[in-house]
Amino acid sequence: MVRFVEAVERRPGTAFAVFLAVHGVLWTALPALLYVNVPLDLIEALTYGREWQIGYDKLPPLPWWLVEIVYRGFGVDTAYYALSQLVVIVAFIAVWKTARPLVGAVGALAAILIIDGLHYFNFTAAKFNHDVIQLPFWAIAGFAFHAGLRQRQLGYWVLLGLVLGLALWAKYFVVVLAVPLLLFAFIDRDARRALATPGPWIAAALALVVTAPHLVWLVRNDFLPFHYVEARAMPVHGLFDHLLHPAEFMGGQIFFLLPALLIAAPLFFPAPSNGKALPSAHADAFDRRIITLLAFGPAATVLALSAITGRGTVTMWGYPLWLFLGLWLVLFARAALDKVRLLRISALWAGVFALWALAFAADYAVLPNFDHRYRAAFFPGDLLSAAITQRFKQATGRDPAYIIGSMWDGGNVAHYSALRPQPRVLIDGLPRRAPWIDLADLRAKGAVVVWTDSDPRVLPKSFAEIAPGAEVGAPFDLPCYKGDRVVHVGWAILRPQSH
Q: What is the pLDDT of residue 337?
A: 86
Supply φ then ψ for residue 366, to 5 degrees: -115, -55
- In tens, the pLDDT along 364-387 reads 999 998 888 889 999 999 999 999
Q: How far is CA 174 from its chain centroid?
A: 13
At 275, the pLDDT band (50, 70, 90 cuts) reads: low
**Distance (Å, rounded) from C-alpha 61 to C-alpha 172?**
11
Specify whether the CB–CB gap between 452 and 490 falls below 8 A: yes
Q: What is the pLDDT of residue 12?
A: 82
Dihedral sign (CA 116, 118, 120, 123): positive
The SS3 assignment for 237 reads coil
- In tens, the pLDDT along 120-152 reads 999 999 999 999 999 999 999 999 999 999 998
Residues 6+ apart with CB under 8 A from 394: none
Of 261, 257, 253, 231, residue with least CA distance to 302: 253
Q: What is the pLDDT of residue 190?
A: 96
**Distance (Å, rounded) from C-alpha 75 to C-alpha 92?**
27
The SS3 assignment for 447 reads strand
Q: Where are the domains of the chain?
A: 2-365, 379-494
- In tens, the pLDDT along 160-185 reads 999 999 999 999 999 999 999 999 99
pTM of the prediction?
0.94
- In tens, the pLDDT along 437-451 reads 999 999 999 999 999
Q: For the residues 274-295, what does the mean pLDDT come to?
A: 80
Total number of residues shown for the chain: 499
How far CA 132 is from CA of 137, 321, 378, 443, in Å, comes to 10, 12, 22, 38
Question: What one-character-per-residue DSSP string does 367-383 give?
Answer: GGGTS----GGG--HHH
**Distance (Å, rounded) from C-alpha 126 to C-alpha 470?**
38
Helices (H), 152-196: 154-170, 175-187
At 2, the pLDDT band (50, 70, 90 cuts) reads: low
The end-to-end CA distance of the chain, in Å, is 78
How far CA 71 is from CA of 9, 213, 457, in Å, comes to 41, 25, 35
Q: What is the pLDDT of residue 159?
A: 98
Q: Is residue 277's pLDDT more than 60?
A: no
